[in-house]
Structure 1
Amino acid sequence: MTGEVALSLGASGHSCADPRHLNLPAGPRMRFPAGWALIEHPVQGAILFDCGYGPRARDAMRAGLRWIYRRAIHACSSLHTDAATLLHQRGLTGDDVRMVVVSHFHPDHIGGLAQFAKARFVAHAQAWRHISESGWLGLLHAQIWKELLPEDFAARLQLLDDNGRRALDGDLATLGEGWDLFGDGSLHVIGLPGHARGQIGLALRTRAGERVLLAADAFWRREQLDRQQELPWLTQRVAMDDAGAYRETLRRLARFRDTHPGAWVIPSHCAETLALWRQRHPGAVLEALD
């Protein structure tokens, strides 16, 4: 059917954190895959939603403040887990990727961008403005590493702003407004503010007829949609651009899930959701075991 796409999930690297940082019950450190998605569009070709860690992120994390980041969250990234490497499982090279939709500019989402030399990039104008106008201290606090961006990133960048945003309809209506990326109803970009300035998600329908919302870091673990508890103070300070917007985004996504029982709401870092997708869709996960 028109507007439907093939979807595969990928994981390029991972980090670990104490569950109490998310106000979840105490226990062993949780593993958080650096998730991304491959969308195969019948007309537009191969599209990525984020790309996980990659070579430039590994290089950056070898010294200085980036090394402290790696040690603090136990970040791990290996060559055989890079998105560009895993795409070979679909017979694709980095040059085959036509577009990368950047949910936000944290290193575990943009670390592999330089491997996609022919792709256009899509991001929210507010996110790019924040990068362009911030000094080094502001970028440090926002966890944005500009050295991960390709040198010609700005020349290949398409920005989404208020001019193109429209009210969503059909089963996406409760999510408010968004952008019809190609004008064919196949991919709708959704604003998901809170965690990062200008964070966006992506709504699509698979060839199997499933509604999917790729939710980036609107939340991290699927049980957060059920609990909807206040995050600890330190997590809010370190991992939130706007705590109030985060809570509202979480409520909006929970309403969407509750009113669309068959829909998938997929955060970028939930290992359990990735396992469920693998179980339901054998062969539709691109990842390497390390």
Structure 2
Amino acid sequence: MTNNSANNSAISIQVMVAGRVRVSPDLPFGNGCGLVRGSGFFVPASKRIWLPVCAFLVTTPHGRILFDTGWGRDMSPDGVYDRGAQIRSLGSWSLYRVNQGVVGPGMTVPEQLAAQGLSPADLDVVAISHLDCDHANGLRGVRDARRIMVSRDEMRCATRFPNSLVRFNASWWRGIDLDLYDWNDHEGPAGRSYDLFGDRSVQLINIPGHTDGQVAMKITAPSGRYVLLFADGGYATRSWRDMVTSGIVYDRHAQRSSLEWIREQSLSPLCVRSVACHDTANRPETILLS
């Protein structure tokens, strides 16, 4: 692994707000209400809510790691809401009805990297939490990263019928050299995890329920203090605080078990921060970990 970090002892987690998504309130906080209500297919724009779409740039002594990609520029070619462009980018009118997105000027991950004098080629690892559109739509923009990782269980979930027709679109990752990894450790609610560097400093921990192969990222300093990035294991702090699961649930029992684990991890005195991808409290910032 190439070490690109400026300070070999530093660990930082940069929250990158890489666009917004508009959804039915029942999608993030529907508590297992089901596909019809959770998708918000018939919910008008006036009753939807806007949520941030975040990616995370993690800098460790092992190198730079990007967790998720946010939207690609082709969602908003001119930096504004563009219905036609979104349908083309998502490859599905039905997906557009569930997720309306926008990514403003300078907000894609490659654009934010460039503003820091970096490029996707400077990324040692891109780790995708799961393959939903607002997490993987920007994959093509970071295809020059040294390693792009998706759990094998997640790829099986995304390519299984009918998921491959109604929820996921292989065009987001087609032609990209993906490292489909199997679990090599036993952390987390399902006892399945991947220790990225062999020292448990960065762990990809399976939190099934929203999808089969979704992972949280746990970044741990030598002190034992850690930051938890829990993707869509919950949509906000209130998700684990009040035990509110999402509306669309792939496996309701697994999702609740995962959320209980996120709550336990978040309440630990060793936890510096726990961050969901779509919490409305998310702002661009850098979290330092020591």
Q: Any idea what SS the aligned residue of 1:75 has?
A: strand
CA distance in 2, matches of 1:3, 1:192: 29
Shift of 1:94: 2.0
Match of 1:129 in 2: 156
CA distance in 1, matches of 2:14, 2:260: 26
**Secondary structure at 1:219 match in 2:** coil
Segments of structure 1 that go 5 or more residues without pairing to the other structure are 285-290
Secondary structure at the residue paired with 2:112? helix
Are positions 1:48 and 2:75 aligned together? Answer: no
Between the two proteins, what is the percent identity of the paired residues?
A: 22
Partner residue in 2 for 1:215: 230
Q: 1:129 to 1:38 in 2, by over 3 A?
A: same
Give CA-to-partner distance per residue, 1:83-114, whole Å, 9 cap, x none: 10011232211222221101111111111111
Aligned position for 2:54: 35
Q: 1:147 aligns with which of 154, 171, 183?
A: 171
Q: Secondary structure at the match of 1:80?
A: coil
Letter of the 2:115 counterpart: Q
Structure-2 separation of matches of 1:257 and 1:101: 21
- TM-score, structure 2 length as denominator? 0.76
Alpha-carbon offset, residue 61 of structure 1: 2.1
Deviation at 1:229, TM superposition (A): 3.7
Measure the CA separation in 1 of the matches of 2:221 and 2:68.
18
Do 2:90 and 2:169's aligned partners in 1 also have CA atoms closer than 8 Å?
Answer: no
Gap runs ≥5 in structure 2 = 1-6, 32-45, 77-84
Deviations 1:147-200 (A, max 9, x none): 11151x2xx3223324x123x4xxxx8895522101133211111101012001
Tell me the secondary structure at the aligned position of residue 12 of structure 2: strand
Q: Secondary structure at 2:239's aligned position in 1?
A: helix
Structure 1 residue 65: deviation in Å?
6.3
Give matches, 1:233-244, under 5 Å.
235=247, 239-244=248-253
Shift of residue 268 of structure 1? Answer: 0.7
Q: Could you list the per-position Cα deviations for residues 242-279 of structure 1 after superposition, in whole angstroms to 9, with x for gaps in the alignment?
A: 1111111011111122233643111111121x14x74x
The corresponding residue for 2:254 is: 245
Alpha carbon RMSD of aligned pairs, Å? Answer: 3.2
Q: From 105, 115, 120, give the equivalent of 1:94.
A: 120
Alignment of 1:1-290 (within 5 A): 5-21=11-27, 22-23=29-30, 29-43=48-62, 45-57=63-75, 59=85, 61-62=87-88, 66-119=92-145, 120-132=147-159, 134-135=160-161, 137-141=162-166, 143-151=167-175, 153=176, 156-162=177-183, 164-166=184-186, 168=187, 177-205=192-220, 210-229=225-244, 235=247, 239-260=248-269, 262-272=271-281, 274-275=282-283, 278=285, 281=286
1:146 deviates by: 0.8
Bigger proportion of residues as helix: 1
Residues 1:111 and 1:208: Cα distance change in structure 2 (over 3 Å) = farther
Q: Aligned residue pairs: how many?
A: 258
